[in-house]
Structure formats: C-alpha cells, structure tokens
Structure 1
Amino acid sequence: MDLDKFSKISESLRQYRRAELRDFESDIGAKPIEKLYVDALPGNAVLNSVLSSNTTFLLGRKGTGKSTVFAKAQSSLRGKSEIISVYIDVKSLIEVLDSNTSPVVELESMGISIVAYRTHLLRKAMLGRVISELLKEIRANSEKLTLLDRWRGKKKQYDELMHCLSSISERVRSSRLEQHEIPILQRISQQIRVKKQQENSYQKSDSARVGGKASLTQAEMNAELNESSVDFDKTLDDTEIYNEYSDVVLKSFPFGEIIEEIQTLISEAGLLRLVVFFDDFSELNFVDQRLFVDVVLSPLNNSSNETIKLKVAAYPGRVYYGKIDPGKADTISLDFSDLYEASEVQEMERSAASYAERLLVARFDAFEVSMNDYFDFSSEIERIEMMRLIFQASFNVPRIIGHLLHTLYLDRISKSQKITNASIRLASKKYYEGTIEKYFDRMNRYALEPFENKLDRHNQNELLRYLINEAKEVRRKISSGDVGGGYFINIKGTPPTSHFTVIPGLEEVLASLEQNFFVSRYKNMRDKNGNGVIAYALFLGLCESERMVWGYPEGREFRHYFQQRCFEYTRAIHQFLSRNQTIKCNYCGACHPMEIKASLELYKWKCPECAEGICGITNLAEDFKDEVEKLDKEIMLEPVELEIVSILHDESKRMRAGEISALIDKTHQLVGRRTSKLRDMGLIIKEQDHDGHMKSNLTVRCEETYFGEKH
C-alpha cells in the first residue's frame, strides 16, 4: 500500500485547473492526459463527438470533466497538420481585468452615469481580451505548425498576415468610449436613474436616514455605489434595449477584418479549419453570456464559411445560443442522467457505476498501483457494489470522487486500512458537512456581494430545508402506513426517501441546488398517470448527515419505487413558492399573486394595474433583509478571497498560489494578488519556503474571525 501514490491519485482528481496535470508528470510521464483520459461512454463516444466537424456545446456541472475532454480533444488535433486548434479559458481572462483602470471622461454633460460607463468599458475589455487572446493563440499555433513552409508563392505574404493579426489584436484590446455608443449608454443611464427614484419613493424613511449625514461629495459617492452593475444589467432585461446595446458593442470590433484574415490563413496554408475551444463560458453572468455569444461566438460561427468551428463548455440550463442555430450544432451532456438514460433506474446505475470503475482503474494504473491494495474487495459482488456506491456518493463527478478519496486517505489509507462501504458513506457525509453544507452559511455571512445574491442563496437554503423536511415526513407516513396501501408493507427497516419527482416545469426552481450538488437530476420517467416527470436525488452525504436512507429497497417489486405518489413533490414545491414569492411591477410597485404568472407571460409581463411597468418574480424575505443589515460589513471579503481562506483552513497547511488555484478554479496570478491583499489585511502570512516558493497560511486572527466556534 503506497500512501504517497494514493494521495497523488486523489489530488489529480480534485484539481480544478485544466486537466493537463503537469504536477504529476514526474509520476506518470509526459502528456498525462493520454494516460488519464477515460471517456464517459464506451468507444470514446463523447470525445469523437467533440472532434466532429460541427460546432459543439459540451454541457456539465462543475467538476464533470469538460476541461478534461477538451484537453484530450486538443491533444488529438495536434497530430493533424491540416487543423489549427486553440484553447481559450474565458474565465481566467476575465479574472485579470480591473474595473478601476478605465479612464473617466467628462460624463455629466453627456448624461451617462459613471457606473454605466465603467460597466460598459469593462464589458468591452472582457470581449476584446477574448478576441485578442484568440488571435494571439492563432499566431502562436501557426508558428508551431511551421506554416511558413506552406506559404511559398502565395498571394499574401505570411509576415504581412501575421502583422495584420497582431495589429487587430492590439486594436480590440483598447477599451474606450466611441461616439456610436453614447446614445444607448444615455438611455441605460436614464433607466437606472428612474429605477433609483422609484426605489427611493418606496423607501423614503431609509433615504432620509442616509441623507443629511453626508457631504455632497459623499452623497455622490454613495449614489455611484448604489448604481451598481446589477442595475445596469437589469435594464438589459428589456429585449429592445439589449438588442440595441449588443448591436452597438458588436460594431466596436472589426469582425469583417478578423474573419477575412483567418480565412486567408486557412486557405493560403492549405488547412481545413480552425477549431476554437472556449472553456468556462458559464462562469460569466447571464448578460455577459448573451453578449459573449452575440458579439464573439455568433460572428465567428456564422460568417466563416465553415472554416471556423467552435467547441464551447457550459453548465446545463445556462446555455444561450443566440444566432447560432442549435439544429446545426451538437449538444453533449456529461451529466450521468443524460449519458446513461435507460428504461429502468437499475440499468442506468450499472452504466454509471461502470464509468466510475473505469475512471478509477485508469487512474490507479497510471500511477502503477492496484485498486485491490486499497479497496476491500472481498468478492466480485462486493467490487460491483462498492463502485455503485462511489457513483451514488459522487453523482459520477470526477472532482467529487477526488474529494472522497482525499477524505478516505485521511481516514483509512494513512492508517494502512482498506476502504469499505461504510468508510465511503462516512467520507460522503464529511464532504457534505465540511464543504457543501457550509457553502450557504459562510457565503451569506462573510461574502461581500449584492443583496440579490444573498437572497437567492437564502431562498435556496430554505427550499433545501423544505425538501429535507418533506422527505422525513414521507418517511414517517410510510412507516406508519398512512400512504402507499400495501405497497410498502414488506420494507425492512427504515424506508428510503432520498428521491422525489416533479414536473419538468420546476427544473429552473431546482437548478441552483443541482448546480451546487445538493440534489441531482436522476432520471426522466412517467408517473402513475403516465405523465412525464423528473426524478431527483438528494446528495448521499446529505442523507447520511440527516440520517435518511439513500436509494430504494431491494427486490423486483420495488423497481418502480419512486413512482409512488408520496414521492411526487410538485404540489409541495408550489406551496413553498407561493409563500416565498410574489409578482411585482417595476413601475408602480403593485404585487400580484403567483397564480396569474401564466397570464402575465402571455402579455409579456405587462402590469395589469398600471399598464406601464413590467412585472417580475420577487422573493419575499423581509426578515432575511433585516438579518443581512445586521451583518458586520467590516469583516466581509470578496467571494474569491473567502474561497482562498476557506481552502487554507480546510487543508490546514501552507500552500503555494498554484496549489490554491488548482482547488478553487482561479488563476495562480489572481490567487497571488489576493493573498498579498489578505496579507496586508492581517489575515494571511506569506513566507518563502525552504524550496524557494512563496506559501500562505492563515493568521490566528483569520481563524478566529471566520472559523471560530462562535461562527
């Protein structure tokens, strides 16, 4: 039993950053991706789909392996001299942007607010940086392919084209206000001011309390802070304003020139196409996603005469196609419920467990150790059951499997004890309680972010508690014989209540809980009336924490266990929503019952009270608003800073910026800057280690403030 290799296996699965896994080259050799890649489907079906000549959207939640598929696909394409492939990590480009670097021009006379101006320029800088990075990567890859040798006797000189690409790259990076952008920014600024005036009229007492205490300059500063980028984005909810704004932004970039130069490169060098991998696309907020598609992806995809093909990684339910025809693009989901969909749950679980086993076998083989040395496989049946449990405990997310193995390393392997089913369940419980569950409380208490984010997280937490209580109530009713007639009579012990079904229309309600792995879509099925429903499963660690049984009873008579009516939660969730949401007009402030939602949708959400405003769903949480007001703003950190101190606390060791970045999905440059800031705040100690690397760990003050017993 090699403890060090097992630890490295778990680390290689836990890491967020792109799956090139250079940290492990000394252990498994060069090009680790070639040894570690395991396709989610037999015959490398997912990889082959991504390698097809179509534009492809690869969907999956965090940690499901999208970057790994892209890394393997790009590795395969590097062997084809007729194709150029480039990789763009969208989120990492945005992380290095600084919203305070844009020069402030004379705005008052133009009727443009400072926030509208800065938000716009930051948005342009983000899009410009993506385009610039694309052109830079094209130039770099062209040089690697020695395209100059193919260029003899061509109409356009190779050096001339490379110079042109470089010139365009520099031009799109410069973010400045242009004359044709002023009218739409004036309109957006006016919308923001009107909205603020309406809010102030609803909250006169608050305005009076704030006003009068500040000087004129301070009042102006407060106004700038209140006119947040959230207000800017809300104005873009209006389709007409968004379309005008996106057209204006698109005109800022010379896409005609860009497409022409790329096509020249492809044709003159005798290439087939350019393949561009855009990763972490869904990390953008929804407005930025729309602009990214409309301003960057659509022109590249639709105007290139098939010479450019896009591969885009995104989260399920957060895909905006814009002017890209979904019918002409491939969409592949990495979530197990889509990959292994079958007529029966048991068949789906077998396929999912098979992938979990293939993934682990390949990982252990790459590090030249045997799984049998670490797992307590007393028989083949025990092996099958344990792999099925790995799937159930992780929803087949490689990163969660890595976290489970890390906990198992601490609990079992470090003590030279083999892994058992009971230890896997305990690891799942610890991961839930130590990582997933703390997500709500820690972020709401300490994250410096818009109130809307805290409110959404609060409501998701309330919904989760509601689902857990509903599951416990169903368990009580089954045990007492109040539901199910004689169907449940032969169940031995505590009845499982980990799964529930809802109508497809409630997917959006559960999306945030699913994105953060509290629940997972499990299977599309039919209820007893023949209607289509979706079965969801609570996270195994959550069930272990709440002392609920996960799964379904053994025996053929229970193959349709979750189709029983007591597991249908549609009505219960509607009751929860009716108590926590209302429909409110953004103009007159009138509130309407949720029951008229369908009617309002027909009339494009026009307010039936004033006929002027647009209605929207609003969460009711006055008590929570009071709670947020009482929080200590002085100790709040930006979300990424909170992630950094949380990782340092959880890992309990000194760490390099690269080690931290690998676990929180941020660039090491960003982590380096933020740890320096946290050091200046007295929360982190940064010191050079004996190996020459700068490492960080938490100060006593930081531990006591954010992780002390009282919290």
Structure 2
Amino acid sequence: MKINDHEKNSFYLMVDSLKKSRRADLSDINNDDDIIEELYVDPLDGEFVLKSCLRPNTTMLIGRKGTGKSTIIARLQHEYRKDNDKLSLYIDVKTIFEQSKNFTYDSGPYRNLMTNVDLEKYLIYKTFLKQIIDQIKSEVKTNTIKFFLANISKLFGPNKKTYEIELDNIFDEIEKNEYIDIQILKEKNVSQEAQNNIEKRTENTSGLNLNINQNPSIDFSAKQTNSSQQTSNSSMEEKYSEILLKCFNPTVILNNIKVLLNKIGIKYVVICLDDFSEIEERAMKVFVDTIVSPLNNWSDEYFKFKIAAYPGRIYLGDIDPQKIEQIRLDYYDLYQSRKVTDIQAEAQKSVKKLLTTRISYFCHQLPEYFFDTSKNPIEDYYKMLFDITASVPRNVGWILWYSYQNSIAKDERISLRDLELASEKYFSDSINPYFSQNKFMREPFSIKLEKYHLKELLQSVIAASKSNKREIPNLESKIFQLDKEKPPTSHFYIDNKFEDIISSLELNFFITKYNEQKDQDSQNLMSFFTLNYGLCMKEDIFYGRGSDRKYVIQRRFNYTEIIKKYISNAKQIRCQNAECSHIFSYETLNSLQLFNMLCPICRKGNCEIEHVSVEIPNVDESIQIPEFDISLLNSLNIEEPQYPSSLAQELDCTYQKVSKRSIKLRDLGLLDSEKKTIDQKIGERRYYTLTDRARETYFKEIN
C-alpha cells in the first residue's frame, strides 16, 4: 500500500516534534493548548513519574539530554494550572545565565576589592541572580493575573494596577540593598588582612607531619593546634554566595510574597528550573546557595522546586537530600529503582507507548502502518529502537528522522536496515562531533585536554571490543559456541567504583549503563555498559549480549584495567600553590580528601585534579570558533535551510541567540541568509544555509 503525501507529512511532523530540544512548547501544533496532555507519555505505568512530581515537595528530574525532563515539567505546569490554589513558575536557567554574561553593572566601585578575573565572574553571577529574581517577579505577575484574576479583583478591586503596584513594591525592597556588597567586600578585605596576620603568628605552632608515597596508600599523621590555615582556604564561590545572600536577601521574597499570594488564595508556589545543569559549576553553587536553598529551606515549605538536571552535575547546597525526591529518567536507573524484574523489556515497552501515542495523534494510524512488518514483527522494531536509543525520546525522534529520508520519503516502509543505517548516521552527525570537532572549538585548554584523554579512553575500549571480536571465533568455550560467526562484543563491564571516571562518555551517549551485578568471581560489584549502537555500526562491532546468559560476564569483557591505565596516564593531582605545584598520583585522592585536599608538602595550597598535559592536535586560531557556533553550523550541515526558531529548538536556546550568532558567522563567511517562502502556510522567513567555506573547513573529514 502506497503512503500518500498527507501521511508522509504527518509522519514527518511527528518525528520533528520528538527530536526538538526546546521546552516542549507543543501548543504551537494545531494551536492546541491541551496538546501536552494528549501527547505526554509517562515513563512508568499509571503516570507514576507525573504523580510523583505533583507531590508537594522539591523534586529533581535527573537524566541525559532528551530523556524528557522538559516535557515532564511542561506536563506538570499544565496540571498545576487546573488548580485554583497553586502557582507554577518557569525559569529557563541556562538562557538567563547566558544573557547575564553581558553584564551592565558599573565595575568602578569594585576596583581593588578583588582581582579583575574574580570581579568579572562576581558581576556575572550578581547579574545572573538579579535576572533570576526579575524573572520570578515577571512569572508571578503574569501567572497570577492570568489564572487568579478573579481572586485579585475580589481583594484589590477591578483595577489590577493596585495589585501590580504592591507586587512591585516587594521587589523594590530587594533592590534597595543591591549595592550593599561593596561595603561588605571592603570590610572583608580588612578582616582578611587581620586573618593573614593571625595565620603567620600561628603557623609556627602548628605541626603537620605527612608521609606521602606515589602508591595508593598514604600515611597521614598530624598534630594541629590551629585550624586557621584550612578555614582561610574557603572557595571564592562561598564568598560570592555569602555576599550575594545579604545583597539580595531572599527573606524579603519569602515573607512578603508569601503574605501577598496567600491573600489571593495560593497555597504554595512551585518553581520549575529547566536546564539547571547547563550553567557553569560556580554559578550553580552561587545560585543554589543564594536563591534556591533559602527559598526551599526557610519558607515553611511554601516554595517548592522542580529541577531538571544532568546526572553528576547537581549541587544541592544546604538542601537536605533526604527531604527531596530524585527521579532518574535514564532507563536503567528509572526501572531498577522501581524494582522492575526485566528492566530492558520495560524500557522497550516505553518506546512502544511513545510511538503509539505520537503516531496516533499525528497520523491517525498504528505504528505498524509505517514499518515493514512483512519480514519482521513490529516488536523487533521496538527492540531495535530501544537498543539504538536507550529509550531516550529525542533520540527516537532523530533515528526516525533519518529513517524517514531513506524509506517513507521514497514510498517505502521503514525496515530494520533503515534503523541500523540511521543509527550510524546519527552517531556520526550528532554524537561523534563532541570529539571530532574538538580541535575547532575555542574553549579553555583544560576542556580540550579532558576531551582528548576521554577520546583516547574510548578508543581503548573500542580496540578491546575489536580484539574480542577477532579472538572469540577461535575459542573452545561452550559459552561462545552459538555466537562464533558474529560474536557480539558491544557490551563490557568495569568495577563499580570507577563508574564516575567514564560518566562523561555516558552523558554524551557514547556508552549507556544497563546493569549492575557481581563479576564472574562474585567478588566486586560491577557496572555493565553497552557501546552506542551507531558507534558499533561505524566500527564494525557486532551489537548484542550473546546467546548464553553468562556471555557478557566473561572476564574478557572486564575493562577495569583499561580504566586504571587511563587514570594512570591521564589524571594527576597538583597543588595550586604556585610556590609548590607538587604533583601527586591520582591514586592518592582518597587520602588527600581526608584533609580537604590540603597539600601535605607546603601545607598552604589546595590540591586539584587535573589532566596530564599533552600536545593536542590543533588548528589555526583564525578558524577556531565557540562551541555554540560549531553546534549551529553542525545543525545546518545535518539539515538546511533552517530558520532561526527552528535552529533554536534544535540547539536548546532562544531564537535571539541564534540570530545574533548567525550575524557573526555570516560576517566570517560561514553561512548565508536569505528571506524566502518555503511553506505557504508559514509565509516568508529568513533561512540560513552553510557556505562552501564552512563545509570545506569544518565538515570535510566528517562528510
């Protein structure tokens, strides 16, 4: 049966809705404000995730990109707005932080109070917090007038202006203390000088004897009569937080806003923080310590947060983790935490629910209509989509987008082979550039260095998998007999205690965790991972866990030694005191942490983990551009032409940022822009395309 043009277009719209990055603003589709309710698919039966988020407490949604955090927040807000006693606010943390970098504070009054580098960061953080508070004010005003106007009219009369003035007055109180930080900084400089004098006098009375070897065991023996040395080493972000806490005084928001909102019948306020982990670590700490933690801890549970974050990129400050719920959305964490017996079957079922819901809404068909089931049942497609995407909705959208071009657009149903080819193309286009485009990115050397070492680690894992693929056909073990022709070597395991070392590879979808269990010797707990399906296609590695259930727990798939070798070659610990700069092996980390990373050699500097410096293949500085610009060009390399708001959805940013950066890239001769009409329904728009220079410079090796 031929797929008609209307069905093709409907399927394309369905796929496009899945692969977009922005905050699930699905109301643009069919101008339907309730569409989020129709399209939302909860990862757990009975909408358990949504119901958990609706509980009146602070909740963290933790997952990699595309796992549905923003969609859950959008669904959550939609539900809250049905109530007449709860107020929901939305804060796009990443966008506000990016805007804050163009700060407007006069730096003159701060001169000589801190170094120029610290001052620049401090003013960015101050601007960031000010804009966060402005956004809270804007959200409170907009949403209360939109959803609680009747209550406002009863209290303040038909003229809402009276209410707006009272709201403005509350936030004006915050601005009165806006420059109190200058006086605090002056006082701190005086007290710091006094503290330094005390330290000099007490230094001779403090004895610290530490024996340190370059092996994993360190003997610490210490006698200290004074701890001033350690307390003086407080980090800059702690100082920032302490000062900005007094500057913005969140108790003003707590008390006065609470009183006002209670008057109009609001029982509590839910603040949704999207893209929380996308800001730099110091900014995150300042934000949590100054705004989030005080509002959460001091408000008698009036303010509650729903926070979307990445695994391993979370800071809670003074928030008690026992009093918040953490919902992890990557499939292993999600289903394992619910004690599901067959985790992968449950994840596969979620892919089926997702596709059934979306295809039904957009195409008024069952999924079977668009897949070639003449040779393979539809369940095989769900399984392969799970293997390729790890049940990440955005990844499902991308795989089907590539598959659409090779099949449905050509009047053919999607085959398993189409999915395989799509997985390789998606890996090459969207995942691998994390490494392949590294040399073109204008970013700190430390970041380039970390990526370089991580790529070396990944290459070592790939080499081990290829070695196993060659060796297994020659083995006599019964466990391998059924798989000798095409031995799958995509899965491996490592000692659980080294899991953090490869967390960046997982965060960026090069690998995915799928299990935890004891190793073959039943001694240590092991974390089991699978290589990305598209990576396996590209590297000619057979994907799978083998026919025998004991296949993947064989010792040859234990890559712990690869991780240890990586640590030995790539990571070290260095004292940050310029007069010392002593280097310790990474294996000494646990022992150094016992003394808060205080250097045992000089007893003054703090030790920090760093990557061993090596010569990195680089390109001329004239063609190095910011990471965002690389991502923008890469998006056009995948699909062109595109208009600003479409690119913004792909890049998870505002269309204003896309427009601004596009002007820079056009001036560099890397993209062209033209106003034209492609879709009559949309009308004329400005579209961007890559220039030949951009393709030749940045994508020649990839394409």
Into which bin does the TM-score normalised by the smaller protein fall?
A: 0.7 to 0.9
| SS of the residue 1:324 aligns to | coil
Distance 1:414 1:240, change over 3 A: closer
Query: Is 1:259 equivalent to 2:254 in the alignment?
Result: yes
In structure 1, the partner of 2:374 is 378
Distance in 2 (CA, whole Å) between partners of 1:476 and 1:185 is 65
Letter in 2 for 1:541: G
**How is 1:124-163 mapped onto 2 (pairs within 5 angstroms)?**
124-147=126-149, 149=151, 152=154, 162-163=164-165
Query: Is 1:469 equivalent to 2:468 in the alignment?
Result: no
Distance in 1 (CA, whole Å) between partners of 2:191 and 2:332 is 45
In structure 1, the partner of 2:568 is 578
Residues paired across the two proteins, number? 650
Partners of 2:250 and 2:290 within 8 A in 1: no
Query: Is 1:504 equivalent to 2:496 in the alignment?
Result: yes
Distance in 2 (CA, whole Å) between partners of 1:488 and 1:708 is 41
Partners of 2:125 and 2:283 within 8 A in 1: yes
Distance 1:151 1:100, change over 3 A: closer
1:67-109 Cα shifts (integer Å, max 9, x gaps):
001111111111111111111111122222343643331655x
Distance in 2 (CA, whole Å) between partners of 1:185 and 1:655 is 52
Distance in 1 (CA, whole Å) between partners of 2:397 and 2:231 is 40
Letter in 2 for 1:18: R
Q: Which runs of 5+ in 2 are unaligned?
A: 194-229, 678-682
Given the alignment, which residue of 7, 18, 32 partners 2:23?
18
TM-score relative to the length of structure 1: 0.86
Query: Is 1:293 equivalent to 2:293 in the alignment?
Result: no
Partners of 2:175 and 2:248 within 8 A in 1: no
Distance in 2 (CA, whole Å) between partners of 1:671 and 1:285 is 21
Distance in 1 (CA, whole Å) between partners of 2:609 and 2:525 is 26
Distance in 1 (CA, whole Å) between partners of 2:536 and 2:250 is 52
Distance in 1 (CA, whole Å) between partners of 2:154 and 2:340 is 60
In structure 2, the partner of 1:218 is none
Cα RMSD for the two superposed structures: 2.8
Partners of 1:524 and 1:534 within 8 A in 2: yes
| SS of the residue 1:115 aligns to | helix
Distance 1:262 1:386, change over 3 A: same
Letter in 2 for 1:619: H
1:449-506 Cα shifts (integer Å, max 9, x gaps):
1111111111111111111112222333433328xx4432343412211111122221
In structure 1, the partner of 2:540 is 547
In structure 2, the partner of 1:325 is 320
Distance in 2 (CA, whole Å) between partners of 1:345 and 1:520 is 18
Distance 1:568 1:148, change over 3 A: same
Partners of 2:63 and 2:309 within 8 A in 1: yes
Partners of 2:672 and 2:689 within 8 A in 1: yes
Distance in 1 (CA, whole Å) between partners of 2:235 and 2:434 is 37
| SS of the residue 2:64 aligns to | coil
Distance in 2 (CA, whole Å) between partners of 1:468 and 1:498 is 9
Query: Is 1:641 equivalent to 2:629 in the alignment?
Result: yes
In structure 1, the partner of 2:182 is 178
Given the alignment, which residue of 1, 9, 14 partners 1:4?
9
Query: Is 1:592 equivalent to 2:591 in the alignment?
Result: no
In structure 2, the partner of 1:229 is none
| SS of the residue 1:464 aligns to | helix
Distance 1:438 1:237, change over 3 A: farther
| SS of the residue 2:479 aligns to | coil
Distance in 1 (CA, whole Å) between partners of 2:76 and 2:174 is 29
Partners of 1:278 and 1:313 within 8 A in 2: yes
Distance in 2 (CA, whole Å) between partners of 1:346 and 1:405 is 29
Distance 1:271 1:577, change over 3 A: same
Given the alignment, which residue of 523, 526, 546 partners 2:515?
523
Letter in 1 for 2:301: E
Distance in 2 (CA, whole Å) between partners of 1:445 and 1:37 is 39
Distance in 2 (CA, whole Å) between partners of 1:459 and 1:188 is 39
In structure 2, the partner of 1:246 is 241
Distance in 1 (CA, whole Å) between partners of 2:15 and 2:597 is 50
Distance 1:421 1:324, change over 3 A: same
Distance in 1 (CA, whole Å) between partners of 2:92 and 2:587 is 43
Partners of 1:161 and 1:261 within 8 A in 2: no
* Alpha-carbon shift at residue 121 of structure 1 (Å): 0.8
Distance in 1 (CA, whole Å) between partners of 2:385 and 2:702 is 34
Partners of 2:27 and 2:36 within 8 A in 1: no
Distance 1:111 1:260, change over 3 A: closer
Given the alignment, which residue of 635, 646, 653 partners 1:666?
653
Distance in 1 (CA, whole Å) between partners of 2:122 and 2:155 is 45
Query: Is 1:680 equivalent to 2:667 in the alignment?
Result: yes
1:370-423 Cα shifts (integer Å, max 9, x gaps):
3222101237x7221210110110011111111101100111111111112122
Distance in 2 (CA, whole Å) between partners of 1:426 and 1:350 is 24
Distance 1:299 1:426, change over 3 A: same
Given the alignment, which residue of 57, 61, 64 partners 2:64?
61
| SS of the residue 1:655 aligns to | coil
* Alpha-carbon shift at residue 314 of structure 1 (Å): 0.5
Distance 1:481 1:405, change over 3 A: same
Query: Is 1:457 equivalent to 2:451 in the alignment?
Result: yes
In structure 1, the partner of 2:442 is 448
Distance in 1 (CA, whole Å) between partners of 2:191 and 2:693 is 47
**How is 1:615-634 mapped onto 2 (pairs within 5 angstroms)?**
615-624=607-616, 627-628=617-618, 631-634=619-622
Question: More displaced, 686-695 or 512-521?
Answer: 686-695
* Alpha-carbon shift at residue 167 of structure 1 (Å): 4.1
Letter in 2 for 1:460: L
